[in-house]
Amino acid sequence: MEKKLTKNEKISRAMKGRTLSDEHKLKLSKAKKGIKRSNETKAKIKQTLLGDKIKDLKKDHPEIPKTNMSRTHLTAADVKQIRDRYSNEEALSIRQLAKEYNVSRHTIHSVVTYKLWR
């Protein structure tokens, strides 16, 4: 006996493989602009975006030894704190961390995924 699908599951199956036009994407972004999301919703979005990678995030991050890089905006303590907060605080996003530490989102993403400060 097949499981009865919910309305959202039916829509999801029907839309699978379709791409949205640029005009439609623009209308969606305008409609969502200014919407505040709850921490629970932010955590769900983070879980969806990371998928299986969330299991690979370490819960305890050792402090990286100080380097002689002269152009760095982040200290070793900052990097440890960023990794700790991102992996332990559910609703915290890369965008929020980037704004807080005054660096780009790419920098925070590279730190969290160990591409920088290995």
What is the overall mean pLDDT for the chain? 79
Tell me the pLDDT tens digit for each residue of 49-105: 777 766 666 565 555 555 555 556 788 888 888 888 888 777 788 888 888 888 888
CA-angle at 19, arms to 30 and 41, nearest 5°: 50
45's CB contacts (< 8 A; 6+ apart) are 37
Stated pTM of the model: 0.47
Hunting for tokens 């960023």 — which residue is that? 82
Distances (CA, A) of 83 to 29, 67, 109: 30, 18, 10
Which of 9-13, 31-35, 51-55 is most confident?
A: 9-13
